[in-house]
Amino acid sequence: MDGKPVTEPFKFILAFATVGTLEFELAQPVYGPNIYQRFLEEHGEGLHHFKEKISDDDMATVLANYRKKGIEVTQSGRFLASTHYYLNTEPCLDFIVELGNLPRQKVPPEIVRIYPPPTSLA
């Protein structure tokens, strides 16, 4: 966080919903250092970020262009093939920009929970 590696344990829960071509993400911090908990402490609940899809081939160039404008990465991470970068755009935009590669990927079933459960949809 803040451009430094996080060495202590952390956990957050994410939920996704797709409406048309938009994907909405709900994030709930559980413990440890993460950008979601900081946002709640500073602002309360609300809009945290917008995400832009950037190809893996273009990511380094896009990040370098942001750096030239004084915009640094505050938190980054990887989940399977997905990478993401949160930028410190809040002072100039009033929201955070997230860059990510948004790959289609199969998530292991043991870490996915679907609500309502598919059997209750019938």
CATH number of the CATH domain containing 73: 3.10.180.10
Split at pLDDT 50, 70, 90, the class of 85 is very high
The percentage of residues in the chain with a pLDDT greater than 90, rounded to a whole number, is: 37
Position 117 scores a pLDDT of: 73
Residue 4, domain member (yes or no): no
Residue 1, domain member (yes or no): no
Question: How remote is the C-alpha of 27 from its chain's centroid?
Answer: 9
Residue 5, domain member (yes or no): no
Mean pLDDT across 69-89: 92
Range of the domain at 85: 11-121
Number of domains in the chain: 1
pLDDT digits (tens, 9 = 90+) for 25-58: 888 889 888 888 888 898 899 889 999 999 999 9
Specify whether the CB–CB gap between 84 and 103 falls below 8 A.
Answer: no
Query: Which residue's entry shows tokens 């451009």?
Result: 3
Mean pLDDT across 57-73: 97
